[in-house]
Amino acid sequence: MSGLFRFPNAATRHPEVEAWLAADDPMRAVVRPWFEALRALGPDVRELLHDGHPTACVEDAAFAYVDAFSAHGAIGFYQGADLPDPARLLEGGGKRMRHLKLRWGQPVDENALQALLAAAYADMRARVEAGE
Supply the pTM of this predicted model: 0.94
Q: How far apart, in whole angstroms, are the C-alpha atoms of residue 67 and residue 27?
A: 8
Which class is domain 15-129? Answer: alpha beta
Contact 11, 47 (CB under 8 A): yes
pLDDT single digits (tens) 80-94:
999 999 999 999 988
Tell me, what amino acid is at 101?
A: K
pLDDT single digits (tens) 28-77:
999 999 999 999 999 999 999 999 999 999 999 999 999 999 999 999 99
Q: How far apart, in whole angstroms, are the C-alpha atoms of residue 5 and residue 73?
A: 22
> What is the model's pLDDT at position 2?
61
What are the domain boundaries of the chain?
A: 15-129
Longest dimension (CA), the chain: 42
> Is residue 1 over pLDDT 80?
no
% pLDDT > 90, the chain: 92
Provide the 8-state DSSP code for 11: B
Q: How many residues does the chain have?
A: 132
